Amino acid sequence: MNEIFTQEMINAQVVNAGIDGDRPQFMMVRLEQGLKAFPNTKLVIFEPGPNEKNKRFNLEASEEILKYLQAMKMPTIYVSNTTIQTEEEALQFAQKFGAYYYGNWTRGVPRDRDHRQYDQGGPGHMTSAGCKVWATNMAPFIQKVIKEANIQ
């Protein structure tokens, strides 16, 4: 049975703690600081990115972060990158730590120049138009997580 989600307003403050070019090894400190600065955080969206090209180092640091969030009982949405994990590997990885798996970070975002930057030859970061598509596509999934995790 397919569930249908209506796009409802989500009353939330969103903090983007990402830093361009950062690697997962350096994200834990920023995550801890961010959660202290925003003690009413109810949901974390974690996307470690491909900047750490060494798969082992990327996944070890990501595992540390997901374990930390699991120990805090913090509902977490894990977003993957296909240069590090296949979608199947990422799903299993998220499930191992009780995280919800959204999919690849570019899921549903066109690969054209309106939605992606081509400053390094191929499609890279999303443009503002790409971010809007991503947010629109992800909203029903976030609503589902809010409902399942009973986030108030």
User: In which residue are the tokens 């199947």 written?
Assistant: 88
Q: What is the pLDDT of residues 90-123, one digit of tens each?
A: 999 999 999 999 999 999 999 999 999 988 778 8
Q: Tokens at residue 61, please?
A: 């640091």
Q: What is the pLDDT of residues 45-57, one digit of tens each?
A: 999 988 888 999 9
Question: So what's the pLDDT on residue 7?
Answer: 55
Q: Which amino acid is at 74?
A: M
Q: What is the pLDDT of residues 11-56, one digit of tens each?
A: 888 888 888 888 999 999 999 999 999 999 999 999 998 888 899 9
Question: So what's the pLDDT on residue 19?
Answer: 86
Q: Which of 6, 5, 44, 51 is nearest to 24 (CA)?
A: 51
